[in-house]
Amino acid sequence: MKHIVGVADMKTSNQAADTIITYSLGSCIGLVIYDPFAKAGGILHYMLPDSSIDDAKAKSKPYMFVDTGIPRLFKETYTLGAKKSRMKVFIAGGAEILDQQGFFNIGKRNYMALKKMLFRNNVLIEKQAVGGNVNRTVRLEIATGHIYIKTSGSREERI
């Protein structure tokens, strides 16, 4: 079954037949985590680095922000049998699509907030496709743990 992760959304699974996909990562970041032993993983598609800018939004849409979305992604995946010590981590996005002059730097700020949170929690990034000025789509196959990325104007490829 294909699970689509929208903007400010998250999906997890441990069902072998499932695929999780998120589209059009521009300045947003798609965080993909996968435990190959438990065959459980998920994708978070977050928009902004810090929930303190809007407490009400953080409560109603916790997946919109780094600091409220990432803990929920990991905790939900743990309920499916995953363990942090076995987790493979991939990130995509963080581009400057509408802000190519770098005035707001949302993509970079999203990336830096993610790196800080992962570092504080002793989680290493295995692979990444971040920055630039292109949109990306990311897909995770639960049965294999294979991650595929498609960049605007190119074919999908396994990473």
Q: Which residues form the catalytic set?
A: 28
H or E segment to which residue 73 belongs: helix 66-78
Please give the DSSP secondary-structure letter assigned to residue 7.
T
Could you tell me which of 144, 3, 12 has the C-alpha nearest to residue 69? 12
Q: How far apart, in whole angstroms, are the C-alpha atoms of residue 151 and residue 159?
A: 12
Q: Strand locations in the chain, DSSP E? A: 2-5, 9-13, 19-25, 29-35, 40-46, 88-93, 127-130, 136-141, 147-151, 157-158
SS3 113: helix
Count each helix (H run) and each strand (E run) in the chain, helices first. 3, 10
Alpha carbon 1 to chain centroid, angstroms: 19
